[in-house]
Amino acid sequence: MPQDNKTIQNPQSGTVPKVKGPQINDRDILNDVLATEKYLTDNFNVFAREASYPALYNDVENILCDTHKAARDAFLAMFQRGWYKLEGVEQQKLQQAQQQFSSYLGQFPYPDVLQ
């Protein structure tokens, strides 16, 4: 399948079979690691926001930073191997989205905070 101009992806390394059997491979492991780290960061974000003691907050914040770094490392490992692709967007669509969401600024109760 040809790669279109909007796909941001490194070339496949050739180590992943086209038709996959029941065996787990490196791509599966990294994909599981990334999914787990995303899950952890989502939940540690909530935990950090709602920690009731400063010392607990500091500990959770440190763990949160570590999990964000681990998620980033897993993403980069997958991207560098061509196992994670991103979809590019046309400049016109990007500008339309920016205009749409910037019009929402007037709806916030504290507009000075956002500037």
More confident residue, 55 or 111: 55
77-106 tens-digit pLDDT = 999 998 988 888 889 988 998 888 887 777
CA distance 68 to 58: 15
As given in the structure block, the two tokens for residue 11 are 């070339």
Give exposure, 18-47, as e/b (b: 16+ Cβ within 10 Å): eeeeeeeeebeebeebbeebeebbeebeeb
Q: What is the Cα–Cα distance from 5 to 8, expressed in whole angstroms?
A: 8
Considering only residues 6 and 44, tell me which one the structure prediction assigns the higher pLDDT.
44
Phi-psi region of 14 (alpha: psi -120 to 50; beta: other; left: phi over 0): left
Upper half-sphere CA count for residue 100 (Cβ side, 13 Å): 6
Q: For residue 88, what pLDDT is reported?
A: 83
pLDDT at 2 over 50: no
- Residues in contact with 111: Cβ distance below 8 Å, sequence separation at least 6, in sequence order: 105
Boundaries of every domain in the chain: 20-88
Instruction: Write the pLDDT tens digit of every residue in 41-70.
Output: 999 999 999 999 999 999 999 999 999 999
Distance CA 41, CA 97 (A): 27
